[in-house]
Structure 1
Amino acid sequence: MDLKNERDILNLIGKDVWMMDILITAKSLHLPDWWICAGFVRSKIWDSSHGFRERTVIPDIDVIYFDNTNIDEGKEKRLQHRLLSTHPNEPWSVKNEARMHVVSNSPPYSSSVDAISKFPETATALGVKLDEYDNLMLAAPYGVEDAINMKIKPTSYFTKTSERIAIYEERVAKKNWQSNWGGLKVQHISDPAR
């Protein structure tokens, strides 16, 4: 499928029975400011762009939410357990972004979308959810062009300090996405074309 814009991505996800089931299950938790983000969306785009008939296995299904009234990590574990009780074979991961700034050594986030904007790569800084009417919504703080055009490049947040630059470069090397999606183009922070 030739993806051109956000609407094309939402149509692609909407036709995927497995993804919709996962989204419906996550919505059933009734979490504030929730999204399923990162590889869940990005890998679907890249699989489609590469013409894959089989879904690439993702290491986790990142369910995020924002609740600064309860930042107990135990609550995240209980929510994750609830998801596992419904879909025990899925790699669920639940994180409250109201506390994740501590883990990331960052200033506090103001919302889940603010947290998504602090992800390392623009193509990963994506989230999808169902609104109260079950319409698909996409969060894309940096747009969808890099994901669609199969470009891996750092978010502006990850170009600000040498520590973040190192994290981005290490992550790109460790993930080695090009071994699965050969059409990807990686931009290193030292590239002048930034």
Structure 2
Amino acid sequence: MDEDALREVLTRNEVLLEVLRRAERLGLPDWYLTAGCVFQTVWNVVTGRPPAEGIRDYDLFYFDGSDLGWDAEDEVIRNGARVFGDLPAVVEIRNEARVHLWYEDRFGVPCPPHTSTEAAIDSFAATTCCVGVRLEGERWHVYAPHGLDDVFTLVVRPNPVLAPREVYETKTRRWSEQWPALTVLPWST
């Protein structure tokens, strides 16, 4: 599959499209809408479901290494709440330059500092999840380092770069319940 097919499918999710349009207003550096809202929209469309069904939140990642303090990120989150507050979805905004500060406490393994939003996307628990999109005016920018074939063919492939096996297995159990047509490949030992 190619980027044109991805754009065509993603535009069917009106919430996702509106988040993309509004995100540009925030002026965030190196931003992407990423994770579940992207690949789950594809899974919904491929399996004949409403495009936004079961999507828990819309992850908006950006990278700003100029201020790693919580207050700077919180200001962006509060501004995002004003921009996205009337949408029927939760938009989770996170500065990927700060992930290494909290990751080990949450997941039990250290995370080296990311160097970009793309580097953060590269570390998702499954390669299938490693997709980010953004709008620059009317131009779509797609980041998909592992391609899009697995996303469209419902194959979930582990990515042992950072996330522990337990994270992958927990996520894939939940996803398999919602999308039983998924082919979940086992974690490599």
Fold equivalence (TM over 0.5)? yes
TM-score (norm 2): 0.86
Q: Conserved in 2, the CA contact under 8 Å of 1:25 and 1:83?
A: no
Structure 2 counterpart of 1:68, one-letter code: G
Structure 1 counterpart of 2:60, one-letter code: V
Alpha-carbon distance change, 177 to 166 in structure 1, aligned in 2, over 3 angstroms: closer
Out of 75, 81, 85, which is 1:84 matched to? 81
Query: Partner residue of 1:40?
Result: 37
Task: Tell me the number of residue pairs that the alignment of Structure 1 and Structure 2 aligns.
Answer: 181
Q: Deviations over 1:118-139 (max 9, x none)?
A: 01011211111012x3311111
Query: Partner residue of 2:121?
Result: 116
Structure 1 counterpart of 2:184, one-letter code: V
Deviation at 1:71, TM superposition (A): 1.5
Distance in structure 2 (CA, Å) of the matches to 1:166 and 1:106: 16
Deviation at 1:55, TM superposition (A): 2.3
Alpha-carbon distance change, 136 to 51 in structure 1, aligned in 2, over 3 angstroms: same
| Aligned alpha-carbon RMSD (Å) | 2.0
Q: Conserved in 2, the CA contact under 8 Å of 1:10 and 1:137?
A: no
1:1-194 to structure 2, matched below 5 A, reads: 4-53=1-50, 55-88=52-85, 89-104=88-103, 105-131=110-136, 133-158=137-162, 164-173=164-173, 176-190=174-188
Deviation at 1:43, TM superposition (A): 0.9
Deviation at 1:94, TM superposition (A): 1.0
**Higher deviation after alignment, 113-122 or 99-108:** 99-108
User: Identity across aligned pairs (percent)?
Assistant: 26
Deviation at 1:114, TM superposition (A): 0.8
Deviation at 1:156, TM superposition (A): 4.3
Unaligned runs of at least 5 residues, structure 2: 104-109
Q: Secondary structure at the match of 2:20?
A: helix
